[in-house]
Amino acid sequence: MMNRILKLSMGFMATVILSACSAQSENLASSDEAQQTTAYLAEIADETTLFENGLGQQQTERYKLVVLPAQIDDAIEQNQSSVSSRQLSETVTHEITNALHDSHRFEILNFDEPSDLASDQNTNNTIYSNNRAQAEFYLKSTLSHLNAEETVRILKATGQGVEEKRVSAKLAYQLIESKTNKIVFSRTLHYQLKSTTYGEHLTTTMNNTIRVIAELVTHELLNEIYPIRVLKADREQIILDQPLAVDTQCDVIRIGKKIKDVYTNSVLGNEQTNVGKLLIIQTSSVLSYGKILEGQVAEGDICKIIPVSMPSAPELVIRNDSGGVILPYD
């Protein structure tokens, strides 16, 4: 009986020892895999070239940005009695925040201050001071003009009435460096949207206008800070770091030496040389793929989209000498 107990004890101890060894082996294997993974990531990081952005900086992470509540001109609320300044401020701020977030270029920080900034100008300094500790930049915007009108246009050919909604807006915005309060980028956008969608409420047209303006703000900021870069260039394919529409044509620009102001020694920009042209043939959610049309393309070059000139529509209705019209089928 004693021998049996000893055998069972020895067997149990052997099992425990083997389990411990197995666990230690697994831990060592996991540790080796982790070290290999870390080394691999470090190797990739070493091979990645960091280019200077439009602010002359090499980033290792996304900029932290706070979108301040939009300021609304007092005259707008008087003209648009159906929408309050508070509602407009929330809509403009929301649309700009969403557009910047969707660009995947900025880390958007929440704005936790009181939402009545638009009506209390005295809180600006306190808010800016609190945000400096967290964000590198903040975006300030002012909606100085918003006009919405709805009319019925009578078609001469049929005599039918068509509802037409027009919304025009003017938004000024500034990208400000939080530590120095330096205005890095400033611009004013004018935009007008016309809609003839049947049954569409005028408020919907206003919201669509603000959404487009927010997208334009984001597009301008990205062009200034993050010009389109060539990530890879060889005979097989050209890869760009931003998604562009298929059939888009781009001028390829090679960046040269910095150009400095002779009085202040501040950097004005860089020398730029047009070296080629390419066509986008494929796109994804984050990248574009192109082919060279002319010239040459190298890694690190930037691309500027060539605007498409829209051909004018042919004149379908021609007036005769007596004041009548000649229709296309006449």
Using alpha carbons, list the distances in angstroms from residue 260 to 134, 140, 200: 31, 28, 52
pLDDT exceeds cutoff 60 at 310: no
pLDDT for the residue numbered 105 = 86
Mean pLDDT of the chain: 77
pLDDT for the residue numbered 246 = 93
pLDDT for the residue numbered 297 = 93
Q: What's the whole-number mean pLDDT along residues 188-201?
A: 88
Q: Tell me the residue length of the chain.
A: 330
Determine the Cα–Cα distance for residues 106 and 163; give it in Å rounded to an integer: 40
What is the share, in percent, of the chain residues with pLDDT greater than 90?
35
pLDDT for the residue numbered 213 = 95
pLDDT exceeds cutoff 70 at 5: no
Q: Per residue in 92-141, pLDDT tens?
A: 999 999 999 988 889 999 886 554 444 444 444 444 445 456 788 999 99
What is the share, in percent, of the chain residues with pLDDT greater than 70?
68
The DSSP bridge pattern shows strands 238-240 and 228-233 to be antiparallel
Using alpha carbons, list the distances in angstroms from residue 83 to 45, 77, 98, 133, 323: 51, 7, 21, 35, 46
> Which residue bears the tokens 């019209």?
325
pLDDT exceeds cutoff 60 at 328: no
Q: Per residue in 176-193, pLDDT tens?
A: 998 889 999 999 999 999
> Which has more pLDDT, 252 or 198?
252
The DSSP bridge pattern shows strands 183-195 and 161-177 to be antiparallel
Determine the Cα–Cα distance for residues 257 and 226; give it in Å rounded to an integer: 18
Q: Where are the alpha helices (DSSP H) in the chain?
A: 2-47, 74-79, 85-102, 124-132, 202-225
pLDDT for the residue numbered 49 = 61
Q: What are phi and psi of 292, to 5 degrees?
A: -80, 130
- Contact in structure between 128 and 183 (CB atoms under 8 Å): no
Q: What are phi and psi of 210, to 5 degrees?
A: -65, -40
Q: What's the whole-number mean pLDDT along residues 237-259?
A: 91
> Which has more pLDDT, 44 or 86?
86
> Looking at 283-287, 292-296, 297-301, which range is the least confident one?
283-287
Q: Which residues make Cβ contacts (< 8 Å) with residue 250, sequence separation at least 6?
A: 228, 240, 244, 277, 278, 279, 280, 290, 303, 304, 305, 306
Pull the structure tokens for residue 265: 């020694």
DSSP-derived secondary structure for 175-209: EEETTT--EEEEEEEEEEEEE--TT--HHHHHHHH
